[in-house]
Chain A
Amino acid sequence: MGIAFWRSALFFTVIAVFAVIIFPSQRELGKLYIESGAVGKATAYLGPYFHKYPHDTANTLRYFKGLLYFGNSAEFLKFARQMRDRYPEDLAYHGILADFYEHNLQPQLASEEWLAMLRINPLQPEIKEKLVSYYELSKDIQGLMRFYSMQINQHAAGLEDYYDLGRLYSLDKDPSLAQRVYLEILKKFPGQDAARMRLAEAYEFSGKIPPAVDLYVQLYNNSPSNADYAILLAEKLLKYGREERALDYLGRFLRRFRQDGNFIDNLLYLYQAKSAQMDYLAVIEDFYRNYPIDNEILKFMAQSYFAANEYEKSEILLRSYNEKTGGDFRSHHLLGDVYLALGRKTAGQREYREALRLIQERAK
């Protein structure tokens, strides 16, 4: 009758053996409660367990979450800082402190934790974005420079980071550090023409003109259809007295960009400022003889003659241009200037009126 002794003994033994699994520990209870949203109850278990086993990061973080939930900031800060200092390589403690500071409108303290996190693991784009933003907004330029340098040393910097660092050094008017950065970019990303240009600017500022000019030549040669690079090269060649090379390139530019009125205008602006402009005119005239159908060149030449006070030549060219193309705002306006310079006021006014009519017509 009844249950045999051995059966009941077996039952209680099994219960004793599996008790650990059947009855949850403080840790598990805390976890269950906090995950179910019963933060108050959870804290009662998480706290004592934390004090016994602070190295259990998962439990500790749950405990901290509980403290924050109830706004227990002082206790949270005390323990979180202790844990961060004890385990400085653990991202979690920096992270929870950073969030706390950020939510409590203390961005500077948050930035220190973000920086520490990126020191440990430099590849955290969201944290990096927050830190860079903080430095930018608070204008901590030195901090930003140090951070980018750190990222470069950690091999975690992207191309944009290099550019940002180079820009900061340039804004700080430190050409040697800027040069280092741009040279580094070109070493890693040889196709980066933007870096080539920035490097050239830094060289120019340091007075290293030959390597700067070489870079501008490279830029143009790498992208010969890029009108901006062409203008830049022309500008630098003229600025640094490379007249012969400038003349050489002028022919090339005209061949490539002869249809581009804006380019021709810009080029003219550069070349006509030079004393040797008649040499350039000779190149242009020669070019026109080979390409007589390019009417824009007529205007270009007319402008050059006008700048050289050769008004009659300018008039002939402009009239020819207007006959061939019907004229535009600029050609009539310039012809007006020419007539005025020749003392032919009425004719000048007529051309200005025509220029105005054309521009108004275009605006309709």
Chain B
Amino acid sequence: MRIDLIGKLVVALVCCPMAGVSAQGVAEPRTVLAIFDSSDSYSPSVDNNLIHNNAEMVLNYLGLKVRYHDIRQGLPVEQEMGDVYGVITWFMDDALPQADKYCLWLSQEAKKGRKLVILGNFGAYRDSLTGELVPPDVFNGIFRQLGLEYAGDWSDNPFVIEVAKKDSRMVEFERTLEGEIASYERVVSFDQRNKVYLELNRTDIPAGRSAAVVIAPVGGYAMGGYEIFIDYLSDKRKWRIDPFLFFAGAFALEGKPRFDTTTLFGKRIFYSHVDGDGLRNPLESDRSRNCAQALKDEVLKKVDLPVTVSVISAEVDPRYYGSEEIVNQAREIFALGNVEAGAHGFTHLLDWQRQLTVFAIRGYSRPIATLGDLDILSESPYSSAMIISASREEMLKKEINGAVDYINRVLLPRGKKVAVYQWTGDCRPPAEAIQMVDDLGIGNINGGDPRFDPLNPSYTGVSALARQAGGFVQPYTSNANENIYTNGWKGPFYGFEFVIDTFRQTEDPTLVKSPPRRTSPINVYYHFYGVEKIKSLEAVRKVYDFALTQEIIPVFASEYCAIVKGFYKGKIFTLPAGGWRIRDYGACRTVRFDDCRLHPDLAKSRGVIGYSNYAGSLYVHLDESNDAELYLSSHPAGRVYLRDSEFVLSALKMGSEEISFTGRVFRKSKCHFANLRPEGNYEVEIKKKPSGKTVSTGVIQADRSGILEIVTPKKGEYYFQAKRQG
């Protein structure tokens, strides 16, 4: 008996941690380490390199996070590699410092099971410090991991290079290869499992076949010149490979869940934010009024959408460039129910590195005065900027904490606080600036300015999700602002309306050979001065009007920032029973499966409130618990679930007899629940939140397929309850 007990205790002790492990599942690392060479003119920095400018957006879309490592700083240390799923490299030339050491390191990482993707030049055939060539056995240590052998025989003689075999879908995505077979290196694919999508042939040598685009079991390779086309005059680029297919294959992502930042409850995310510039500018149509008044009266009061509005505090504060009148105008804007408060700096920094700004403030910033100042300005694109004489620490404190504090204290009504910091000028704040904003517990945004339209007909124009500095995340905007569409505010002033092209292309592209694919939210982003001209105001309204015709779910900019944060913090574990545990996703409550014909198994899953499909992808809606388990099944769900919603809902409870939730709406909106009794009648009661006053009651009927549509009142926060009758 005693022995039995001890035996049971031992079993329990041994099994408990195992049970913990099995419940947690196996962590699915999501970080790709991007190696770049800052001495390369195309990759000078962490936020300006071939991978960040082209590939990161696609990797983000596929659910991966990218961390950068400048190879000029030496090899990554072991601690850096812990969470790394794969390594991607993209170089323009063939030399690196300590190239042989790099080759051995990279080869070791691949042997450890990390995926390996090489785009463009392999980059380590030669040591850039000594000029010495790396022995072929050494660099081929890496190629062999990919089932390839690099044999040289480089040529740029177009007369002797031809395409031997190509899979157009993979290698002619945004541009055909016809008349553009300009360079050659001999790479032999010896692994039968490799899929060669582009094979070249050099006709003047024996055995001239070369594998130029390959997906291998451990990664992928796309030869320089066949991965992307670059027009060096305009710096515009077009993909040759289909990066979505290529990365999904090379990183073996098929069938895996991907955190999604474009969609919430099945609808495309919409958010809008206004930078504070030009708030005091008089209107073209009526010079007695300014942009603050026009924004409030002509836009914010008329558009039933949430808008995050920021001000530059020195422009409002009567101690500097503002006045009591401006203070009141700002207060009126921030008092509006559909307005969230943002901060756009104290003096509007232009160049975060060189400490240049817009406004001169005694004892803080001043006009150019010395030859040294001239040197500083001449290195910056902002030639007429003011120079900040304060220390860097003081500058950041004033521009971030000071600006936020002023708006909170002076301009906001009770209960409202600044929710977002909208970066100014070059939008390249140092890591400590982003950290300061994070420490305030608010979101941050700006930079990126993506465009995908007839002038930029490529996914390369769509920016990554965020810029990263020292481990801190700066979400980029999802669309470019009106300053860009109006040529730096030189006209045409109606230009902002062309942002609609990008809205369209990032959901259903027609300018490239691509299936529909939602790659960005809709983001209406402009400045106060964007309403100054008659035509520019019309454009702003036209853009909002377009957005209102789309199937969107409007959120504030701070909520979008939180979604991006959730994307970076979220974790995915594979469960032994074939599902996934999804944790720490915060506001990023959508996971997506592409090319998916399966459905969530709602009986088996936990924390999953519903799902919907768009363009062949399955969008799964997670609840607020921050910890969900998801299983897929080939059978449609048997339980009641949320199919989609045009508004943010929370505290959702669902059953076949009763559904209840709270919702925040900016306009009359709809949501749909599925798997209710076909043609069953439901008594719906809507109460105002928090008063609990009933605003609407009625009976609605589910349709023949059991879909129940609930329509909200116009604006406000409500409690909703739907009970089955009879």
A residues touching B (Cβ–Cβ < 8 Å)? 68-71, 100, 102-107, 129, 132-133, 136-137, 139, 141, 167-168, 170-173, 175, 201-202, 204-205, 239, 262, 329-330, 333, 359-360, 362-364
> Would you call A204 and B159 a contact (CB within 8 A)?
yes
- The segment out of B42-50, B175-183, B190-198, B520-528 that lies at the interface is B175-183
Given contacts A137-B238, A167-B158, contact A71 B538 (CB under 8 A): yes
Task: Map CB proximity to A onto B208-236 as digits: 1 under 8 Å, 0 otherwise.
Answer: 00000000000000000000000101101
> Would you call A364 and B179 a contact (CB within 8 A)?
no
Q: In whole angstroms, how far apart are the Cα atoms of A261 and B400 in the complex?
A: 59
6 cross-chain pairs, A with B, having the tightest CB-CB distances, nearest first: A205-B159, A363-B101, A133-B234, A170-B158, A105-B454, A133-B233
> Would you call B457 and A106 a contact (CB within 8 A)?
no
B residues touching A (Cβ–Cβ < 8 Å)? 98, 100-101, 103-104, 133, 135, 137-138, 157-160, 175-176, 179-182, 204, 231, 233-234, 236, 238, 453-455, 457, 487, 491-495, 498, 501, 534-535, 538
Q: Which residue of B lies closest to A173 (CB)?
A: B159
> Would you call A359 and B159 a contact (CB within 8 A)?
no
* Chain B residue contacts of A69, Cβ below 8 A: 491-493, 535
* Chain A residue contacts of B98, Cβ below 8 A: 363
> Would you call B158 and A137 a contact (CB within 8 A)?
no
How near does chain B come to A93, taking the closest CB pair, in angstroms?
17
> Would you call A359 and B100 a contact (CB within 8 A)?
yes
Q: Which residue of A lies closest to B138 (CB)?
A: A359
> Would you call A107 and B455 a contact (CB within 8 A)?
yes
Residue contacts A-B, CB under 8 angstroms, 21 given: A68-B491, A68-B492, A69-B491, A69-B492, A69-B493, A71-B535, A133-B234, A137-B234, A139-B175, A141-B179, A167-B182, A170-B157, A170-B159, A171-B179, A171-B180, A202-B159, A239-B204, A359-B135, A362-B101, A363-B101, A364-B101
Partner pick for A137 among B103, B159, B453, B457, CB 8 A cutoff: B457
> Would you call A133 and B236 a contact (CB within 8 A)?
yes
How near does chain A come to B342, taking the closest CB pair, in angstroms?
29
Q: Which residue of B lies closest to A201 (CB)?
A: B157
Known contacts A136-B231, A175-B159, then 4 further A-B pairs from the complex at CB < 8 Å, ordered by chain A residue? A71-B538, A100-B492, A107-B455, A173-B158
How near does chain A come to B125, taking the closest CB pair, in angstroms?
11
Given contacts A71-B538, A133-B233, A363-B100, contact A103 B159 (CB under 8 A): no
Q: In whole angstroms, how far apart are the Cα atoms of A74 and B492 in the complex?
A: 14
How near does chain B come to A112, taking the closest CB pair, in angstroms?
15
* Chain A residue contacts of B100, Cβ below 8 A: 359, 362-363
Q: In whole angstroms, how far apart are the Cα atoms of A170 and B179 in the complex?
A: 9
Partner pick for B137 among A104, A171, A333, CB 8 A cutoff: A333
* Chain B residue contacts of A70, Cβ below 8 A: 534-535
How near does chain B come to A176, taking the closest CB pair, in angstroms?
12
> Would you call B494 and A262 a contact (CB within 8 A)?
no
Q: In whole angstroms, how far apart are the Cα atoms of A137 and B180 in the complex?
A: 12
How near does chain A come to B155, taking the closest CB pair, in angstroms?
9
* Chain A residue contacts of B238, Cβ below 8 A: 137
Q: In whole angstroms, how far apart are the Cα atoms of A261 and B642 in the complex?
A: 70
> Would you call B455 and A105 a contact (CB within 8 A)?
yes
> Would you call A330 and B135 a contact (CB within 8 A)?
yes
Q: Which residue of A lies closest to B535 (CB)?
A: A71
Q: In whole angstroms, how far apart are the Cα atoms of A168 and B491 in the complex?
A: 37
Q: In whole angstroms, how far apart are the Cα atoms of A283 and B7 in the complex?
A: 84
How near does chain B come to A336, taking the closest CB pair, in angstroms?
11
Given contacts A106-B454, A363-B104, contact A171 B535 (CB under 8 A): no
Q: In whole angstroms, how far apart are the Cα atoms of A68 and B492 in the complex?
A: 7
Q: In whole angstroms, how far apart are the Cα atoms of A201 and B101 in the complex?
A: 37
Partner pick for A172 among B157, B179, B498, CB 8 A cutoff: B179
Q: Which residue of A lies closest to B131 (CB)?
A: A262
